[in-house]
Amino acid sequence: MRQVYINGEFKKEDEAKVSIFDRGLLFSDSVYEVTSVINSKLIDFKYHVERLDRSMNELKFKTLIDHDEILAFHRKLIELNNLKEGMIYTQVTRGVVDRSFDMPKQAIKPTVLAFTQEKKILESDTAKNGIKVMTLEDMRWKRNDIKTTQLLYASMAKSEATAKGFDDAWMLRQGYVTEGSSNNVWIIRSKNIMTRQSDNLILSGITRAVVLECAKKLDYEVITKNFTKVDAESADEAFMTSATGLITPVVKINSSQIGDGKPGNFTKSLRAEYIKRALEIAI
Ligand code: PMP
């Protein structure tokens, strides 16, 4: 049984409890981060906690959580659960207060929880074989730049895709691809690497930012601009980025095979570069 973290304490997973009045539960008034763990070490931890601060500031949470404290419970969770490869999920809710649409004016104690989950990251089947995605309408709100736990539409989109035999959904607004259900999207066409500009309609991924750096290192120029469903379907290569998927090749979009239906060469070189860097900077 896992040991999880809740409000300063480590508990068995079935003993950790949250109040029924928690605003995270009642209003999805909460933010989260997922940090990947490789060889029992944290990848890009600093960027994740910085984004957590940003999300909390955007929602006007009155207090932030100390970064050293976050690092300490991440490390302890890795140790307690003997986690070699996987992720740590951390969630911070505004806290517990009588139910009201009006957010509390006074500072209340946030609820902080975290747990580990094992996952194959380096040698995953999806990295080896690539994934198939379908497109569907993006029906989410317009503040997807904040990493909130208001994830119902993303979960519906992913489920619709898997029910139809795909691995994930790429969402569209006015014909342009925004992002995947839990990842950023990229295509390569005639040697142009493209990923959507980071605006309020997507989460600005940590992996996306690092991959932009990796591409530069490999002397590739990336155009950060939105692209259409038609651009995607006729791409030479496609991939998605996220903390636990790293760089995952996409080999089919709707009924269109991408390239020769196998992970593309550029995608593979970028993934290798990303992993090299991740292992160097892991803490
Ligand atoms: N977009 C969405 C909607 C996501 O949920 C995620 C993953 N949390 C990402 C993009 C990728 O972000 P990151 O690279 O920081 O994991």
- List all residues 6 or more positions away from 42 whose beta carbon is below 8 Å from its beta carbon: 35, 36, 71, 74, 75, 78, 88, 282, 283
Nearest residue (by CA) to ligand 1, atom 9, is: 183
Nearest residue (by CA) to ligand 1, atom 5, is: 182
Is 41 known to be catalytic?
no
Q: What is the pLDDT of residue 190?
A: 83
Q: Name the 3-class secondary structure at 215.
A: helix
Q: What would the mean pLDDT of 58-85 be, rounded to a whole number?
A: 97
Q: What is the pLDDT of residue 218?
A: 87
The number of the ligand 1 atom at minimal distance from the alpha carbon of 48 is: 15
Q: What is the pLDDT of residue 74?
A: 98
Q: What is the pLDDT of residue 231?
A: 97
Residues across the chain:
283
Domain boundaries, the chain: 3-118, 125-281
| pLDDT of residue 191 exceeding 90 | no
Query: How confident is the prediction for the chain on average, in pLDDT?
Result: 97
**Mutate-to-test residue for ligand 1 from 151, 153, 183, 206, highest number of ligand atoms within 8 A of CB:** 183
235 band by pLDDT with thresholds 50, 70 and 90: very high
| pLDDT of residue 61 exceeding 90 | yes
For the chain, count helices (H), then strands (E): 8, 15
Q: What would the mean pLDDT of 181-199 be, rounded to a whole number?
A: 95
Percent of the chain at pLDDT above 70?
Answer: 100
Q: What is the pLDDT of residue 219?
A: 87
Q: What would the mean pLDDT of 202-207 be, rounded to a whole number?
A: 98
* 283/278 Cα distance (integer angstroms): 10
Q: Which protein residues are within 6 Å of ligand 1, measured from CB?
A: 34, 179, 182-184, 203, 205-208, 241-243
Q: What would the mean pLDDT of 43-51 be, rounded to a whole number?
A: 97
Q: What would the mean pLDDT of 151-160 be, rounded to a whole number?
A: 98
Render pLDDT for 84-118 as a digit per residue (tens, 0 to 9).
999 999 999 999 999 999 999 999 999 999 999 99
The answer to whether the CB of 92 falls within 8 A of the CB of 111 is: yes
Query: Hey, which bits of 15-138 come out as E strands?
Result: 30-38, 41-42, 86-93, 111-118, 131-137
168 band by pLDDT with thresholds 50, 70 and 90: very high
Nearest residue (by CA) to ligand 1, atom 8, is: 182
- What top-level class would CATH report for the domain 125-281? alpha beta
* 183/223 Cα distance (integer angstroms): 18
Q: Return the CATH fold of 3-118.
A: D-amino Acid Aminotransferase; Chain A, domain 1 (3.30.470)
Catalytic residue among 17, 76, 119, 147: 147
Q: What is the pLDDT of residue 187?
A: 98
Beta bridge partners of 115: 89
Q: What would the mean pLDDT of 121-131 be, rounded to a whole number?
A: 96
